[in-house]
Amino acid sequence: MTIGTWRVLYEAVVDRKRHCMCQCVECGVRKIIMAFKLRQRYALRCRECKIKQDLVAV
C-alpha cells in the first residue's frame, strides 16, 4: 500500500492506536505515522521531501 510518497511497510498498535511504519519512496527515510493521519491524508510526504518540494515551488 502506498499513500502519497509513503509505502506502508507494516502496521502496529501502540497505546491502542494504529500506527504505520512507513518508508518514503522518494528519499527512503522511515517513519512511524499514526494511521488516521494517513487515512485523512494529513501526512502525504516526509518532512525532507516536503522541504524539497517547497524549494522547487519557490
Contact footprint for Zn ion (CB under 5 A): 24, 26-27, 46, 48-49
Using the minimum distance from each CB to Zn ion, give the nearer residue, 7 or 35: 7
Q: How far is the CB of 39 from Zn ion (least distance, A)?
A: 20
Burial class (CB in 10 A: 0-12, 13-18, 19+), 20: buried
Which residue type occupies 33? I
Q: How far is the CB of 13 from Zn ion (least distance, A)?
A: 25
Using the minimum distance from each CB to Zn ion, give the nearer residue, 11 or 48: 48
Q: How far is the CB of 14 from Zn ion (least distance, A)?
A: 22
**Sheet with 30-34: strands ordered across:** 2-3, 6-14, 17-24, 30-34
